[in-house]
Amino acid sequence: MQRKSVGAMVTVTLAAVTISAGGSVHSGNAHRSSAPPTTGEGSAVASGVAPIDNGGVSHWQHQSDARAAIVEGFISSYGEAGGADIEFESIPYSDYFVRLGAALEAGSGPCVMQIPANIMAEFQARGQLAAMPEEVMTAEQMESTFTPASIELLDVDGQYFGVPTDVQTLLLFYNDDLFEAAGLDPTRDFETWEEFREAAVALTEMEDGSLSQAGVDLTSSPYQWYYSAPTLAHEDGLVDDETRQVNYASEAGYQVWERLTGLVTEDGVDSPEFLAEQSKFGSGLAGMALREYTFNGVYQLTAPDVNFSVHMPPPVADEQFAPVVSTSWAYAVSADCENQEGAWNWIQYLTSEDAQRTWIAEGGELPSRIALLDDESLTEDPAVAVGFAALAEAVPYDSIGWDDAFAIQQEIWDQIVVGGTDVQTAVDAGAAAENELYESKGVVE
């Protein structure tokens, strides 16, 4: 009888251990700074940030080899200057928002996170972000320090919730060798849509009735050009400032969509089935590509045999309110972060003027700080100079969504290009879906 009681107690104990082990919280693969923090004289870093901080700060961002390496370097230097211990995690993009959303909900999310400016308001509506304290930067300081395009979407009801990073513009890349082979001048920007369309047709080659060289690589960018181009055709961008509804279900919007999709449906300069999901431009099988500025660096690494140059994109509408669109992300602080001061200090360090020089030189980013726009030492490379020039005139892609909005805009494209739907029907359906999406997210009234 005694043996049986002991056996039952052992079983119950095992059950309790099993449950408690399954419920334990762990930090996963967080990477810690390799350099122990030191305090000492001269610990203040560039732009007046003094990170004397003994608390820890967790930092998540989506994975990019270049960005991860830069952040690792900053973690070391920050620690040497007496800054907080930074627990850094670089997460593959495909998992990033799933993990971030679940972790924030579970209370195990990071202190500092990188999120697209377009969904800043969404995170704020869920109460997941901390407003930037005035001691860090007042609204006036934000507006005098950073470019308007990079901070427009970070302002929610008069308060700023993040500091801009990873600024990009969409630019047109030429394969100079293919241009010359087609008798085109690779040093000229296109001044009209028709010039661009004719060049795309001239650069297109067929073999046995199938595409063998695309005039324009249209379908291989994460920020598909056709998501953002309609922004340029409306004075207040993709989304109406007053009604918070999309603008592109309009004559101007229909024109942009018709021109973009017509490149495939009528001119045949690209096809979704030609090198599907591949980088046609990087393979040397496309005359042009519309990609983010950062691909200047990417192509240098991944396509060393492609002789390319960088240009302003062509006008997409008869009346265009800006020549180019920009996108950006922001570093924000979680409302649940226990070390808010440490988190904002770290963000200031990451976005300081010196740090931005590093981001520009090594990370393929454009500056968000106004002071760097006119720095000629940064624009010695002609491609970088084009990026800076584009940024000076860029307007932000202001959709109030990210992957969910992309899915709707992709559906518009697919309906027209693959499904054969007429432009107005597809665009109207997409606009209705996108307006419904904004309403469901609680970011419009």
Residues binding other proteins (CB under 8 A): 7-8, 11-12, 14-15, 18-19, 22-23, 93-94, 97-98, 101, 104-105, 122-123, 125-128, 210, 219-222, 224, 272-278, 335, 402-404, 406-407, 410-411, 414-415, 418-419, 437, 440-442
Minimal distance, residue 369 CB to other proteins, in Å? 28
Minimal distance, residue 88 CB to other proteins, in Å? 22
CA atoms of 383 and 385, how far apart (whole Å): 5
- Tokens linked to 23: 């419920």
* Cβ closest to other proteins, residue 60 vs residue 146: 60
Minimal distance, residue 337 CB to other proteins, in Å? 14
Map residue 403 onto helix, strand or coil: helix
Q: What is the DSSP-derived secondary structure letter of residue 164?
A: E
Token pair 């972000």: residue: 129
CA atoms of 220 and 205, how far apart (whole Å): 19
Task: Identify the sign of the CA torsion 14, 19, 20, 26.
Answer: positive
CA atoms of 164 and 132, how far apart (whole Å): 12
Task: Identify the sign of the CA torsion 118, 124, 128, 132.
Answer: positive
Alpha carbon 415 to chain centroid, angstroms = 25
32 bridge partner residues: 87
CA atoms of 132 and 122, how far apart (whole Å): 16
* Cβ closest to other proteins, residue 115 vs residue 395: 115
Phi/psi of residue 416, each to 5°?
A: -80, -50
* Cβ closest to other proteins, residue 85 vs residue 122: 122
Minimal distance, residue 441 CB to other proteins, in Å? 6
- Tokens linked to 322: 């800006």
Phi/psi of residue 396, each to 5°?
A: -75, 145
Minimal distance, residue 271 CB to other proteins, in Å? 8
User: What angle do the packed helices 403-417 and 251-265 form, to 10 degrees?
Assistant: 60
* Cβ closest to other proteins, residue 29 vs residue 94: 94
* Cβ closest to other proteins, residue 86 vs residue 218: 218
* Cβ closest to other proteins, residue 254 vs residue 438: 438
Minimal distance, residue 329 CB to other proteins, in Å? 16
C-beta atoms surrounding 430 within 10 Å: 25
Minimal distance, residue 191 CB to other proteins, in Å? 29
Map residue 49 onto helix, strand or coil: coil
* Cβ closest to other proteins, residue 46 vs residue 98: 98
Minimal distance, residue 238 CB to other proteins, in Å? 18
* Cβ closest to other proteins, residue 381 vs residue 403: 403
